[in-house]
Amino acid sequence: MIVSERAHSAADVQLHYDELDHPYRAVWGEHVHHGYWQTGHETPADAAEALCRLVEARLALEPGMTVCDIGCGYGATAAYLAEQDEVHVTGFTLSGAQAAIARARSPGRGSLTFVERDWLDSGLLDGEFVRAYAIESSEHMVDKARFFSEAHRVLKPGGRLVVCAWLEGPETKPWHVRHLLEPICREGRLPSMGSRADYDALASQAGFTLRSYDDISRNVRRTWSVCARRLAVRLVTDRTIRELALSRATRNRDFLLSIPRLMLALRSGAMRYGVFVWDKAEREPRYPAIHPSGE
């Protein structure tokens, strides 16, 4: 597990997304997640939607299902799933700026509810959802073990969790950690970045069974060259972004430095992008009672 040299709280993550609201939407787009290039000819918007479809397929949604979006951002993915699959999605975000935009969405089918609250203190009842997913939000969780235990708790028996995550590569070198992964965590307000093995272990401890795993790093890495080009243009044409980038009062401007790091991290294999599918058992295991000796 790569741990940021600077401790990050949920409040730090909230400030990060609120302060950089305009740059995120202008440079990364409304989905605020990687794109998925299958042919290489997709537009960035098509690639972002392709990742939604990938998650949609792994969730195996059916009309009427209750679905939880853990770290919903601006609600674009939640709205896509509600519209396409006629499901009822509840999204959680720490950011007031994101929640305001998400709540303005009105799908033609299904339904949307957005909650401005820390996932680790969700206030949800046990077994409220049939499906849950987290697209590039588990990295921001201060307590990753609790991230998984909460997901397991709020899912019904037989439920499913899909997670798209930035991961430490399997053959990380010391320079990868020092110059790429730790700075990415520090600048992106990620308390830590786990490996595939870390996620597998934490999910298993929470009670999940792994159904599938896919490494799609090659398919998503173009995202950052797109973002780099957009940022270069916006620094010239967008006064708001230019002022945020240049002002020392902007506490999160160092994230802009992470774009070249992310490009190199994905291309070098120091960082991987994984898609996990975990299932919750239909029935919790029953253990035989232990009686005192002789009984």
* φ and ψ at residue 162, rounded to 5 degrees: -115, 130
Contact 191, 8 (CB under 8 A): yes
Maximal CA-CA distance, the chain? 82
Beta bridge partners, 113, equal: 90
Tell me if 254 is assigned to some domain: yes
**What's the CATH code of the domain at 232?**
3.40.50.150
pLDDT of residue 245: 84
Distance CA 287, CA 283 (A): 12
Q: Residues 75, 105: contact at Cβ < 8 Å? A: yes
Using an 8 Å Cβ cutoff, are 272 and 196 in contact? Answer: yes
Give 114's contacts (C-beta < 8 A, 6+ positions apart).
Answer: 72, 75, 78, 90, 91, 92, 93, 99, 102, 103
DSSP code of residue 271:
E
Would residue 237 count as lying in a domain? yes
In the chain, the number of structural domains is 1
Residues 6+ apart with CB under 8 A from 132: 67, 68, 69, 70, 151, 154, 155, 159, 160, 161, 162
DSSP designation for 170: T
The pLDDT, as a whole number, for residue 295 is 39
Place of tokens 């899909």: 162
The answer to the question of residue 285 being in a domain is no
pLDDT, residue 285, reads 60
Do residues 135 and 76 make contact, with C-beta atoms less than 8 angstroms apart?
A: no
Residue 294 in domain: no
Q: Is residue 295 domain-resident?
A: no
Distance, CA of 61 to CA of 120 (rounded, Å): 25
* pLDDT per residue as tens, the chain (295 positions): 999 998 899 999 999 999 999 988 888 888 889 999 999 889 999 999 999 999 999 999 999 999 999 999 999 999 999 999 999 999 999 999 999 999 999 989 999 999 999 999 999 999 999 999 999 999 999 999 999 999 999 999 999 999 999 999 998 999 999 999 999 999 999 999 999 999 999 999 999 999 999 999 999 999 999 999 999 999 999 899 888 888 888 888 888 778 999 999 999 999 999 999 999 998 766 655 444 444 3
How far apart (Å, rounded) are the C-alpha atoms in residues 268 and 265? 5
Domain hosting 132: range is: 2-280
| C-alpha distances in Å from residue 148, one per residue of 55, 73, 208, 228, 230 | 18, 19, 9, 33, 35
Position 50 in a domain = yes
In a domain, 292, yes or no: no
The residues pairing with 177 across neighbouring beta strands, listed in sequence order, are none
Q: How far apart are CA 210 and CA 279, in angstroms?
A: 6
